[in-house]
Amino acid sequence: MPATGGRHRLSRRTKIATAALGLAIAAGALVIATTVGDPGAANAATGNRISCPDVASQLPAIPAQAQAEVQRNLDLLNTQIAEANNRLATTVGQGGPNFVQNAILGPLADKRTSTIDRIAIAIGRRGEKPQNLGGLATCSLGGQAAPASSTAPAPAQPTSAAAGDAGQITCPDVASQLPAIPAQARAEVERNLQLLDTQLAEANNRLATTVGQGGPNFVQNAILGPLEDKRVATINRIATAIGRTTDKPQGLDALAPCSR
């Protein structure tokens, strides 16, 4: 009988110890979940969200021919903000004090600069090109001005720490110099006109992100020269497409060189 009672007491002690251990594990898990937690929740608690100036409200009347392209790029601006906020939420605690500016806000401003440039170019192809949209590229965190904005030059300049030195590349407008475009050639001509816009945006982005690199001829040799070569090939394709069904336009090569 005493042996049986001892076994019962042992069984009870085992159950109590097991239950206590289970509670301790659960409590530990709760502490870990609370302290490590979801990075997004940590940001939400401190109100850390990236906000950017609204672009759509600053645009003039958009020509019907440009509406689809402008809307695509406005949608892209929204996607870029969402991606930046997601990265902000999933990288809490990473890097040094300048991590957010260098790894998130800076690249976001570069992307927005290129996208806003494409919007302005699309409108300018059919109407008056809007100016001073470049100042809308810089975003901020938690309601505070982003560091880049404190030293930003006039709004029309590309967004970067040294954008005032970067300048802006401008190219002759090709669309306005074309003759009547045959219906059979319109799709191909439009594709190449869009490619010209893309080439210019890429060149301006490279100009803004390579300030101070190379020697005095860096911009000409590494950016303007290659851009001109690309434009020559693209403009030739436009002329060839038109020339398949009507007179091929002459002298368009003069529109290839760009300037800073």
Domain-embedded: residue 214: yes
Domain identity same for 204 and 90: no
User: Do 108 and 189 belong to one domain?
Assistant: no
The secondary structure of the chain in percent helix, strand, coil, rounded to multiples of 5, reads: 65, 5, 30
pLDDT-based confidence at residue 165 (cuts at 50, 70, 90): low
Fill in the amino acid letter for 117: D
> What pLDDT does residue 155 have?
33
User: What is the mean pLDDT of the segment spanning 93-121?
Assistant: 88
Query: Is 182 in the same domain as 148?
Result: no
Are 129 and 123 contacting, i.e. CB atoms less than 8 angstroms apart? yes
Amino acid at 63: P
Tokens 């301790």 belong to residue: 24
Same domain for 109 and 175, yes or no, is: no
pLDDT tens, position by position, 65-77 = 888 899 999 999 9
pLDDT grade, residue 241 (50/70/90)?
A: very high
| Domains contained in the chain, number | 2
Q: Is residue 233 domain-resident?
A: yes
Summarize pLDDT for 115-152 with one digit per residue, the tens.
999 999 999 998 889 988 989 999 998 754 333 333 22
Contacts 24+ apart (CB under 8 A), 225-233: 227/169, 227/171, 227/199, 227/200, 227/203, 227/258, 228/256, 228/257, 228/258, 230/199, 231/171, 231/196, 231/199, 231/255, 231/256, 231/257, 231/258, 232/256
Q: Sorting pLDDT into bands at 50, 70 and 90, what band is 10?
A: very low
Residues 165 and 206: their CA atoms lie apart, in Å, by 13
- Asked if pLDDT for residue 8 goes beyond 50, the answer is no
Residue 103's alpha-carbon distances to 71, 85, 98, 164, 257, in angstroms, are 27, 12, 8, 21, 34
**Distance, CA of 124 to CA of 131 (rounded, Å):** 10
Which domain, by its residues, includes 250? 169-260
Q: In terms of domains, do 54 and 150 share one?
A: yes
> pLDDT averaged over the chain?
76
Residue 29 placed within a domain: no
| H helix or E strand, kind and range, residue 50 | strand 50-51
- Kindly report which listed range (9-23, 31-45, 144-158) carries the lowest average pLDDT score: 144-158
Q: How far apart are CA 25 and CA 110, in angstroms?
A: 48
Distance CA 130, CA 215 (A): 33
128 & 151 share domain: yes
pTM: 0.41
